[in-house]
Structure 1
Amino acid sequence: MLRFSKIASSRIVKSSSSKLWLPVSQRFQASSSFPAALTAAENLVQPQKSNQFDPFTMVSGEMRVLAKNIAVLLGSGHPTLNRVASYYFEAEGKNVRPLIVLLLSKALSKIPESERTRIVIDQYDVNTQEEFKGTPKAFSFAGQNPLDSISPLRVLNGINPSIILNPLSKPMIDLENAELDKKNGILPKQRRLAEITEMIHTASLLHDDVIDLSDSRRGRPSGNIAFTNKMAVLAGDFLLGRASVSLGRLRNSEVVELMSTAIANLVEGEFMQLKNTVFQPNLNQIENDNTVKQIPEPTGKVPAKVSEYSVPTTNLITHEENVHAAFEYYLHKTYLKTASLMSKSSRSSAILAGCNEDVVEKCYQFGRNLGLCFQIVDDMLDYTTTAELLGKPAGADLKLGLATAPVLFAWKEMPELGPLIGRKFSQPGDVGLAKKAVDDHNGVGKTRELAEKYCSDALANLRCLPESDARSALEFLTNSVLTRNK
């Protein structure tokens, strides 16, 4: 990842239009602003004496120890499982999701405590024996540290607790990190939330690469290639299991509910992508790799609800209605697959800070709009950039049969694309025709405009927070999502 030394040393100016702190050297470098913004935002988590007035020196400490802390949570008694589960954390990933949680947590700390009355917030180092203040009384456990186990370790492990074999019997936090949290206004629970969020996201990457038959991720062989499909799937499951343990130890039932729902949303979104009911209304069939598989008829014992996005037949609706339904389906799938985790972790951070309902909701909407913007830009980059820049295969969406925003915009102007979308671009020449249609009808430009709308909405959501360096960093990061090239 790029270092931010040049930006930190350059002259900083304040933009009157967006109220963002932007370095002069980066204001007109669209192609490189996203990596710079990530690095800048990372640096916003730890104050540094040498640059105490630089707005981009806040959260680097937490980001530096992110992978280390996750490794403590992940370790198992099997060395190969450890290797597969930690594989994606070894590479230089974007780490956008935990970065958002940490920056938002710091920004929320600027709200006076008198205005944060939803719950009594955490005031103590979690390693002390003081009563933990960040959990509603109904969910407190007398005499227990909130990051310690609730059930006996012999029950959790299935064996006598062993410090060597199982991290469930290791300390979950160290004093050095706790002191850093205090300096930055980031609650220990919020930092753990950031780690949980990245674990959930990484588990989804392991599973997605198996489903999509990907051969690269973050500039190296994907987990399914480096190991096997089975090991990649199992490692993803293991990550989700460990994330669930850590989530339960936060002892906030609302946050557990939110983040658990985000995990379910990832699966729902993947099913929406695999089985596009807008173009494949036959719910008794699964189309995959140019083959059709008949699925078992339901027995009626469990009622099966038909998706609200199902279209009985395209012959009974107009082209405009069909396109509208497809866009609704696409945006909902995008929310489930990408924006849900960002929005629910953002909302959870505000809940843990004890914020009132209006701020909690604005934080949720910020994560939702930023997540939608992020994925829409990702879909756009699939048409405009190279595999080397992306760190994963480029131009993969059409080959996978996915109708994302660029081709949907082209279809709106060119109805004859409908049959190609319906058969998932499976016939020879379909991919080439779709790409040409995107170029001819400015599908990429219109997709950028859609992303800009969600970016603008996300920036508006942030205005509920007091002005601070952390808020400026979030605004800078949000703007940079639009100009990233990977």
Structure 2
Amino acid sequence: MDIATTRKPHERLAETLSGEMQQVNQLIRTRMASEHAPRIPEVTAHLVEAGGKRLRPMLTLAAARLCGYRGQDHIKLAATVEFIHTATLLHDDVVDESKQRRGRPTANLLWDNQSSVLVGDYLLARSFLLMVETGSLRVLEILSNASATISEGEVLQLTAASDLSTDEKIYLQVVRGKTAALFSAATQVGGLIAGAPEEQVQALYDYGDALGIAFQIADDLLDYRGDSAATGKNVGDDFRERKLTLPVIKAVAQATPEERAFWQRTIEKGRQDDGDLEQALALMDKYGTLDATQADAVGWATRAKSALSPLPDDPLRDMLLDLADYVVDRLN
């Protein structure tokens, strides 16, 4: 078997974009420096150097190159996207009281909540400076709107996460905010900075939006159906944290009064006993909600691939198509 075909799509993308990603990483290191507050680069480096896939900045670089861009502003935009992502992770870990991310202690655990929140704010400010340097008001509008949408999605999740009246429409709104907004902005600004036709810029937005939704639905499904060693999460963490994700929302929608009382006790009131996770999984199995959730994720991945049809036939486009498949192939 050809080694190239055994590598994951994001790994092939990283190899193709390695020169530009080195520039992005260097720019990130330069811009996260602080003359007056050494804790800022300490906290930022802990998260930035933790070995994440850097998927979002790679999407910006790939979109720009796919649309024929030959300048340098896509480097600034990719760094901007990563700063926004890192800032949201710092804030999320405080809100969720997380103790671990990517197998390492979170910044709020190693330092404190105040440092995590304030450094996140600093990175958002840095991201806006980078946006402005591109000289594009539309880029500023797209990424500013994405930042607001992310915050809106997180606030909506605070109220919706443990409320049994949360339906699939509200779930999708949360997912569009917390995950898809940055994916779609990352791809859209790549096409925009390249001066691509509006049809292609819209196609890149649609691809990022659908890819982000498929990515989050798959993540939520893996919480109940994943391999702990591969995902870095324990099966049922979302249940223990009383998070209403799609597999549970689908089960609640079909629940008998007795089953609904179970969900009210465990999710709304947070009173969980030994064996409750097993019962929750049995109810999801009864109504086939894990399979139905997987079908939804596959549907969104298919929409992501279809969205790319106006883009040029190019190896980078093939990698983006493969990436959409990979997001849901993890479920098999």
Which of 180, 185, 195 is equivalent to 2:79?
195
1:379 maps onto 2:220 in alignment: yes
Mean Cα displacement is larger for which, 68-77 or 371-380? 68-77
1:40 maps onto 2:12 in alignment: yes
Match runs of 1:264-303 below 5 Å: 264-276=148-160, 279=163
Q: SS of 2:13's equivalent?
A: helix
Match runs of 1:79-478 below 5 Å: 79-109=38-68, 185-276=69-160, 279=163, 326-392=167-233, 394-416=235-257, 417-422=259-264, 424-425=267-268, 426-429=270-273, 430-478=276-324
Q: Where does residue 60 of structure 1 map in the other structure?
A: 18
Tell me how far apart the structure 2 counterparts of residues 470 and 374 of structure 1 sit (CA, whole Å).
19
CA contact (8 A) 1:278 1:326 kept: no
CA contact (8 A) 2:161 2:244 kept: no
Cα deviation, residue 411, structure 1: 2.2
Tell me how far apart the structure 1 counterparts of residues 70 and 290 of structure 2 sit (CA, whole Å).
39
Tell me how far apart the structure 2 counterparts of residues 393 and 79 of structure 1 sit (CA, whole Å).
35
Tell me how far apart the structure 2 counterparts of residues 186 and 383 of structure 1 sit (CA, whole Å).
44
The structure-2 alpha-carbon separation of the partners of 1:229 and 1:272, relative to structure 1 and needing over 3 Å to count, comes to same
Encode CA deviations 1:227-250: one digit per residue, 9 max, x unaligned: 211111111111111111111211
Tell me how far apart the structure 2 counterparts of residues 465 and 360 of structure 1 sit (CA, whole Å).
9
TM-score in terms of structure 1 length: 0.63
Tell me how far apart the structure 2 counterparts of residues 275 and 99 of structure 1 sit (CA, whole Å).
33
Tell me how far apart the structure 2 counterparts of residues 237 and 411 of structure 1 sit (CA, whole Å).
37
5+ residue gaps, structure 2, are none
Higher gyration radius (CA)? 1
Amino acid at match of 1:427: R
The structure-2 alpha-carbon separation of the partners of 1:343 and 1:421, relative to structure 1 and needing over 3 Å to count, comes to farther
CA contact (8 A) 1:382 1:396 kept: yes
Mean Cα displacement is larger for which, 258-267 or 268-277? 268-277
Cα deviation, residue 187, structure 1: 3.0
Tell me how far apart the structure 2 counterparts of residues 381 and 432 of structure 1 sit (CA, whole Å).
16
CA contact (8 A) 2:161 2:242 kept: no
Cα deviation, residue 421, structure 1: 4.6
Tell me how far apart the structure 1 counterparts of residues 77 and 234 of structure 2 sit (CA, whole Å).
30
CA contact (8 A) 2:162 2:244 kept: no
Tell me how far apart the structure 2 counterparts of residues 444 and 352 of structure 1 sit (CA, whole Å).
40
The structure-2 alpha-carbon separation of the partners of 1:247 and 1:202, relative to structure 1 and needing over 3 Å to count, comes to same
Number of residue pairs the alignment of both structures matches: 326
Amino acid at match of 2:327: V
Encode CA deviations 1:295-338: one digit per residue, 9 max, x unaligned: xxxxxxxxxxxxxxxxxxxxxxxxxxx6xx60000001100110
The structure-2 alpha-carbon separation of the partners of 1:248 and 1:438, relative to structure 1 and needing over 3 Å to count, comes to same
Mean Cα displacement is larger for which, 213-222 or 269-278? 269-278
Amino acid at match of 2:156: M
Q: SS of 2:244's equivalent?
A: coil
Cα deviation, residue 202, structure 1: 0.9
Tell me how far apart the structure 2 counterparts of residues 105 and 98 of structure 1 sit (CA, whole Å).
11
5+ residue gaps, structure 1, are 9-22, 27-32, 45-58, 110-184, 281-321
